[in-house]
Every structure is written in C-alpha cells, then in structure tokens.
Amino acid sequence: MTLMPVATRPRTALARTYLMCPPEYFAVTYAINPWMNPAEPVDRDRALAQWQDLRDTFVRLGHTVHTITPEPGLPDMVFAANGGTVIGGRALGARFRYPERQQEADAYLRWFQQNGFAGAALSRQVHEGEGDIVFAGGTVLAGYGFRTDEAAAAEVTSAFGLPVISLRLTDPRFYHLDTALAVLDDTTAAFYPAAFDAAGRAALASRFPELIEASEADAAVLGLNAVSDGRHVVLPVQAAGLTAKLAAAGFEPVPVDMSELRKAGGGPKCCTLELRS
C-alpha cells in the first residue's frame, strides 16, 4: 500500500462556506469521550480566542463563515461539525447518541430551516453529522462504531443520492471519523491507520490514490481534525510531523492552536460544518 503521494502535483484551493458556533458556554461538565475530564479546568476566554483565530483564518483564506447563536446549557454546541451534514444544498440533521448533546440537534435543525435548507430534518438513525459523515467528492465516507450507527449509511445514501463507504472505527480515542481521517481533496486523504480495521484501511486505499499516514503522536493531538480547501490545510499547530508531510505533498499547512477545545475532544474540523451548495 502506498501511503504517500508518489509525486507532488499542484493543489487548488476552492472557496468554501462554513457554519461555526462561538464557545460562549463551552465547558467540560461531563465525560462522553476519552478526552473529557470534568476535573480539569477550562479557560473559556482562551477557548473563545482560539475559536476566533480559527474563524479569522478561514476568512483570511477567502472563505465565508456563518455563525449560529450558542445556547446556554449546551457546552459542546461549539462543535458545529456534529450538528448535521449538508451536501448539494440539502441538510440532514444529527441525532446524538448521548442525552447531554441531544438538544444541539434541535438548535442546528432550526438554523438549517431558517436559512434556506428546505426539507431539513433530523436523522432517524443515530449519527453525529460531519463528525462521522465525511464528503469525498462523489462519495460519502461514514464512520461508525462509537458515536454513529452503521445503519445511518443507508439514510445518508437516501438523503443525498450518493454512494456511501462505511468505515468501522476501532480506537475510542478517535471516536469520530474526523479525528482519524482528513479528506484533503478528491483524490488525497490523511489518516491514522490504527484507528481503522483491516477492511477500512483497504477501503480507503481503494478510494484515495494518495494517502498520507499520520503518526500516533500527530493523531494524539487531533492533528487529523483538519479542514482543507484543496490547498490550504488548517490543522492543530501541535501536529508538526503531519504538517511536514502535508507540505511535502504540495499542500499549504495553516497551523492553529485549538488546545483548549481539545479538552473536550475537538479541533479545527469539529468546530466547522461545511455548507455545500
């Protein structure tokens, strides 16, 4: 299996539209993934500064950023990627596994309905939006095993009319697909192999001609929780090894510090829901 591009080729940035939620009520008051420790203090002002830097970075790169109003009592609402999936102007709202987050689904659904996404509805199956549903050109990748049910793949196919490749996640540290895999462009992805079973690794090798392997050290700082516009890759500054590999492959890494939000298991992608028209 070839895990690095055999030759560097030009990478092209495409303007994107994102939805984000300010971390006004961000806190770690419960533990629903291995990253969360309610006993570890959270600096909300620092989290807001890091979030603002991420938003400013997207704007500087030429992207459009919309914001949803945060709601009290929903400390994880900042992780907008989990609120749903939007492809071709259609929105499928999330259905969260844990009761602590279930009201977020209603908040994001209201935003979709109020902002021109006709027909937006909550998923019938448990699935946590772009946390586990990843758009890859004409294909959708659907992670399952921790926070999304395998049965959600059929609903995603019905909603968007696209083929779905299911990928079982095997390491609880990487509980969402977007913590173990970053789609960089239609033919290139970065991933942490140990987060997938053998069938998943084979499926990714078949789907992407170019695969960049992240080390455990880079995966462990959520380096793969990255946002790519096809050229620029916004990723945690702590993922130095992956940053070097991306640059060698012809991408332009854009490091940001999301360490405060990582206390809840989040990074750049967790904070960013792409609105695909």
* Active site (catalytic) residues: 176, 270
Backbone angles phi, psi at 253, to 5 degrees: -65, 140
Q: Which residues pair with 265 in a beta bridge?
A: none
Backbone angles phi, psi at 121, to 5 degrees: -150, 160
State CA 189 to chain mean position distance: 13
Q: What angle do CA 254, 257, 263 make, to 5 degrees?
A: 135
At 153 the three-state DSSP class reads helix
Whole-angstrom distance, CA of residue 248 vs CA of residue 80: 30
Whole-angstrom distance, CA of residue 124 vs CA of residue 185: 30
Structure tokens at 277: 């028209």
State CA 219 to chain mean position distance: 14
Whole-angstrom distance, CA of residue 197 vs CA of residue 140: 18
At 136 the three-state DSSP class reads strand
Whole-angstrom distance, CA of residue 122 vs CA of residue 33: 23
